[in-house]
Amino acid sequence: MDDGVAAMLRTLDDAFPAVEQMSAEAARAAVAARRQPVTNADDAVAEDRVLRLAGGPVDARIYRPHGAADERRAGVVFCHGGGFVLCDIESHDGFCRAMARHTDSVVVSVGYRRAPEHRAPAAAEDAYEAFTWAVASATLLGIDAHRIAVAGDSAGGNLAAVVAILCRERGTPRPAGQVLLYPVIDPSCDTESQRSRATGCFTTRAALQWYWHQYLGGDTVPDPAYLVAPARAESLAGLPPAVVVTATLDPLHSEGVAYAGRLRAAGTPVLHRDFRGLFHGFLTMMPFPPAIAARDLLWSDMRELLSADAARGAS
């Protein structure tokens, strides 16, 4: 392990609360207290909006890069991580601003309903409805309805993957791509990396089990199972191109790698970035040098995914 990574992990392990020993409300407060000020506010112009969805009103923040575009921009519907329980639009504000700037896209960050107040599949349904809203509102948003991706980190990566499946199952316009950043894929929490990286790598197996318990309200998975566990879909055929990011020190590494492999086996174009010696959540930890380099790759991958040429090829 790189010395810089080891030092960062020690800092994170010492500072991050043991959420599995806390109530959701206390865990949220503890995590919010660690939040650092946004230093890249000038990357994009932000507008707050309330989406009127079937499950109730949901906050959203729309980020637009500076400068006039020659034609309608691409769009990204982004779902934040936090184990379906923690974090919110504010926690990922800097990341979404950078995404808008460096991918030259309009980013819609979705403040979906969180557990345990709202059990599964509330978050997934909010994410799906937010995506369909973005497609229907493309002209209003100034984006190309055929170039809207869905993206998310951690639990948000789960929601992005579920949205891609739901669009196929419900016969609605599909995303131009799915960007899955160290995604949570399945509630079993019994993969090789979950066992070998159970502690000492920032996100712990016990915390992941707690997150799932909050979201599911127990051990029962809804029917159909893919509403919460995209890996349990009978088929992954007919899904949009994917960018999948995994990190080898992440307890979620095995399930992310396996999901990328299943997508590829089903005929879905997949670009899989597997970052050796890095850990869960690293992309949002700035100015951590490995995160800076990884972000540059991610923005490039997303620009390609959202390009007009890629959209024509997928149509």
Just list the catalytic residues.
154
DSSP 70: S
Q: What CA dihedral angle connects 38, 72, 313 and 101, to 10 degrees?
A: -20
Element (H, E) at 9: helix 3-15
CA dist., res. 190 & res. 174, Å (int):
31
Encoding tokens for residue 179? 């960007």
Shortest CA distance to 302 belongs to which of 100, 132, 69, 94? 100
CA dist., res. 306 & res. 298, Å (int):
12
The answer to whether 178 and 150 have CB atoms below 8 angstroms apart is: yes
DSSP, residue by residue, 144-185: EEEEEEEEEETHHHHHHHHHHHHHHHHTPPPPS-EEEES---
